Amino acid sequence: MKKISTRIILTVLICSLAMSVIVGVSSIFRSTHVIEKEARDNLIATTQVYANAINEDLALYETIVSNMYNIVDGTIEISRLYEEGYLQEYTDSIISPIVQGMAKETRKNAGLYIVFDPEYTGKSEGIWAALDENGNLMHATPTNIAGMSQDDPNASFYYDAIKEGKAFWSDFYVNNADQNVMTYSMPIVIDGITIGTMGADMNVEEIKEDIENIKLYDTGYAFLVNKDYDYVIHPTLDNSHNLRTYNDGQFNSIVDEIDVNTLGLADVEFSGVKRIMAYATLYDGKVIMLTIPRSEVFEEVTTTALLITGVIAISAILAAILAFIMGKKISGPIVLATDILNTTANLNLQETDQTDEIKSILNRQDEVGSIFRATATLREEMRKVIRGIEETTENIVGNTNSLTIAIQETNESINAVTTSVVELAEASMEQAQDAETGSLKLEKLANEIKLAVENGEVVVENSMHAQRISEEGSKAMNEMVDKFNITSESSSIVAENINSLLVKSNSIGTILSTIIGISEQTNLLALNAAIEAARAGEAGKGFSVVAEEIRKLSEQTGYATKEIGDILKSIQSEVEATKENMDTSEEAIKEANITLDQSIKSFEDIISYILTSIQATEKLRQGLSTVDSDKEDAILAIQNISSITEETAATTEELSASMEEQAATIETISGSTDNLAQTIIKLKELVDRFSV
């Protein structure tokens, strides 16, 4: 069986590892979720930032073009369009200064222009203004589109807006100055008549550079598609590829989602790499997208997992050390208590040295302290009881010896009395025979006077002898009464000692009941602790094990107490048997005292009868001289003597029977004394099993 300290260490270690693993795995899963969520949030926020930056520029150029339109709409005179020189004058005096001023103040400006339909003058009238690489203002007349086809690329800046019939943004293209630009243009419609177009060319080199330089994690990047989802900016794809049709429509569902939402996230797989992609739709319909590999997002999770694993390992080591210390601290008192209980179960009640550890445990206010204090109290009370039983046993042995001696002396006295009674009976029978003979030979009395005198002397002599025997018997009976009084007193003392022994045995039973109650209460406390541990879940398992060990210790205490209770019941049974034998002995002694009183009374009657016989014999002797003259009186006297002698014989027989009954009673007392001695021997054997 494993030591309780080892079990506690294993329990705490397993619980700690389990909790650490659970916390670690939960942390990893939670970290994965949090990091992924943070990455998604950051990705969409970053996309929104870049989209907002581009949208600011787009909104700026849309505002500039709108302002130019409002100026033209408010200043041009439609009725004078065909007037020669009007558009030239209008351009030079009104719109040229305004457009040049706007061009000078607009960042990323690759050109602002207003172009009137060549129909009015036969050539393109208007203004174009821009800044060169050094920031110097340039302006000129727009490219003359007179005579050009609407499909001529050189005239697209003009006719594209006319074809759209509204303001729109073009795709990226390279202008005549070899710059990457895109144009926001709109037709000039006054009173329902299209008189020209105006627009703003925005340099997109910076936007392109910004998008191409976006780096997310290690290999994340950004790209741009136009409103038809043709790739505009991409690290590996050009505008010949379309997001909707790429790889047999792999991203078709994403395109559908973009059509519905202007901002969002999507999980995609590109070139075998799982990616998270964020998108935002710009004002001009283009879509900027940022994408990052999922594996790079979770690199931090891997680092975190390694860190958590290290923490778990360190925690396991610390938990093992702590569990070892706590296991020793918890199991030490339990092992010590078990040793003491085993010693008690082996009936060894010798006092142990009060070490500092035992004193410390006795002062504890928990269940272990209660068990130690209860065990100490039990051992002390049992020592007192066993010492009391030893003293009582010694007293019983002494009194039993005295009782045995008294019974032996009483038996000897009874034998002596019996002998005297037998002799008295024989003498009485002889006397009766003589009286009978005297009655029969009364007729010959005259001739045998001398023989009668001799017979009278014999009668006197026998009567005197009978008197002496009766006095000795009476004296023996008085001595017997004294012995029986001693026996009665000894029996009373023995009975009191046995009653005291019974009371002390019952007190042990009370103490054992108290210990059983403490054991049951401890068992209930352990059960409540187990229930609380169960409510605590995984965190309460260690306490549940401790509660289980305390419950087992309580059961061991109950078993040990039950064994002591069984021994005590055996002692109480023997004491009860001894008490019953003593009660029987005391009753027999009382009956013997009654019989002795009757015997004394019988002896007194015998003495009285013998004295009467002596007196009669004396009268016989005195009246021998007148026997002849008074035969009838002599015959009557002889008959009286015969009657008295017969009564004496009968009384003697009764006395003999009483003595036999008394002897039987003494035998019973002797047997009870022997049983008492055997009981005391068994009691002493039980007591000797204890080491006090």
Instruction: Round to whole Å and give the CA distance between 410 and 415.
Output: 9
DSSP code per residue over 532-552: HHHHHGGGGHHHHHHHHHHHH
Q: Which residues of 584-605 are buried (b: 16+ CB within 10 A; e: fewer)?
A: ebbebbeebbebbebbbebbeb
SS3 track for 483-507? HHHHHHHHHHHHHHHHHHHHHHHHH
Report helix, strand or coil for 104: helix
Q: Which two tokens stand for residue 219?
A: 């290999």
Higher-pLDDT residue of 189, 333: 189
Question: Domains of the chain, with CATH numbers?
Answer: 76-207 (3.30.450.20), 369-688 (1.10.287.950)
Q: Quote the radius of gyration of the chain (alpha carbons, Å).
A: 69
Confidence category of residue 459, pLDDT binned at 50, 70, 90: low
State which amino acid sits at residue 361. Answer: I
DSSP code per residue over 316-367: HHHHHHHHHHHHHHHHHHHHHHHHHHHHHHTTB-PPPP--HHHHHHHT--SH
Higher-pLDDT residue of 9, 108: 108
| Share above pLDDT 90 across residues of the chain, in percent, rounded to a whole number | 32
Per-residue model confidence (pLDDT) at position 641: 64
Section 49-63 average pLDDT: 95
Section 185-198 average pLDDT: 95
Q: Which residue has the tokens 């403490």?
A: 518
State which amino acid sits at residue 58. Answer: L
Per-residue model confidence (pLDDT) at position 392: 83
Residues 674 and 681: beta-carbon distance below 8 Å = no
Query: Would you say the C-alpha torsion 373, 376, 382, 385 has a positive or negative sign?
Result: negative
Per-residue model confidence (pLDDT) at position 692: 67
Instruction: Round to whole Å and give the CA distance between 435 and 381.
Output: 77
Largest CA distance in the chain: 228
Higher-pLDDT residue of 449, 629: 629
Residue 1 has pLDDT above 60, yes or no: no
Task: Tell me which residue of 3, 24, 11 sits closest to 322, measured CA to CA.
Answer: 11
Per-residue model confidence (pLDDT) at position 522: 79
Report angle CA 306, 308, 309 to the nearest 5 degrees: 65
Higher-pLDDT residue of 162, 348: 162
| Most confidently predicted of 41-45, 247-251, 341-345, 622-626 | 41-45
Q: Of the given ranges (104-108, 314-318, 651-655, 667-671), which has the lowest mean pLDDT?
A: 651-655
Section 79-87 average pLDDT: 94
Q: Which residue has the tokens 């541990």?
A: 533
Higher-pLDDT residue of 544, 55: 55
Section 87-93 average pLDDT: 96
| Most confidently predicted of 247-261, 322-336, 519-533, 661-675 | 247-261
Residue 226 has pLDDT above 90, yes or no: yes
Residue 208 has pLDDT above 90, yes or no: yes
Section 466-481 average pLDDT: 75
Higher-pLDDT residue of 387, 463: 387
Report angle CA 162, 164, 167 to the nearest 5 degrees: 90
Confidence category of residue 453, pLDDT binned at 50, 70, 90: low
What is the residue-averaged pLDDT of the chain? 82
Q: Which two tokens stand for residue 530?
A: 């187990």
Q: 4-75 and 541-622 helices cross at what angle (nearest 10)?
A: 150
Per-residue model confidence (pLDDT) at position 192: 92
Cβ neighbours of residue 355 under 8 Å, at least 6 residues apart?
A: none
Per-residue model confidence (pLDDT) at position 502: 72
Higher-pLDDT residue of 258, 364: 258
Residues 12 and 299: beta-carbon distance below 8 Å = no
Stated as kind and residue range, the H or E segment containing 271 is: none
Q: 299-345 and 367-440 helices cross at what angle (nearest 10)?
A: 20
Q: What's the pLDDT tens digit per position in 570-609?
A: 877 886 887 787 778 778 767 867 876 787 787 677 678 7
Task: Tell me which residue of 470, 397, 440 sits closest to 682, measured CA to CA.
Answer: 397
State which amino acid sits at residue 545. Answer: V
Per-residue model confidence (pLDDT) at position 456: 63
Task: Tell me which residue of 12, 498, 559, 44 sits closest to 266, measured CA to CA.
Answer: 44
Residue 119 has pLDDT above 80, yes or no: yes
Higher-pLDDT residue of 15, 215: 215
Residue 140 has pLDDT above 90, yes or no: yes
Residue 138 has pLDDT above 80, yes or no: yes
Q: Which residue has the tokens 């269940």?
A: 367
Per-residue model confidence (pLDDT) at position 410: 74
Residue 449 has pLDDT above 80, yes or no: no
Section 276-293 average pLDDT: 95
Confidence category of residue 421, pLDDT binned at 50, 70, 90: low
Query: Would you say the C-alpha torsion 231, 237, 238, 244 has a positive or negative sign?
Result: negative
Per-residue model confidence (pLDDT) at position 259: 94
Section 233-249 average pLDDT: 92
Section 454-459 average pLDDT: 70
At 324, phi and psi to the nearest 5? -65, -45
Q: Residue 235 burial (CB < 10 Å; 0-12/13-18/19+)?
A: exposed
Section 652-674 average pLDDT: 75
Per-residue model confidence (pLDDT) at position 396: 78
Higher-pLDDT residue of 434, 173: 173
Q: Which residue has the tokens 């004491």?
A: 575
Higher-pLDDT residue of 312, 273: 273
Per-residue model confidence (pLDDT) at position 425: 65
Residue 446 has pLDDT above 70, yes or no: no
Report helix, strand or coil for 273: strand
Query: Would you say the C-alpha torsion 171, 177, 178, 179 has a positive or negative sign?
Result: negative
Q: Which two tokens stand for residue 111?
A: 């050109």
Residue 623 has pLDDT above 80, yes or no: no
CA distances from 320 to 9, 15, 51, 435 (A): 7, 11, 56, 116
Per-residue model confidence (pLDDT) at position 640: 76
| Spacing of C-alpha 509 from chain mean position | 32
In 141-225, DSSP assigns E strands to: 168-169, 173-174, 180-190, 193-203, 221-225
Per-residue model confidence (pLDDT) at position 354: 67
Higher-pLDDT residue of 427, 440: 440
Strand order in the sheet with 273-281: 231-233, 221-225, 287-293, 273-281, 263-270
Residue 412 has pLDDT above 90, yes or no: no
Residue 288 has pLDDT above 90, yes or no: yes
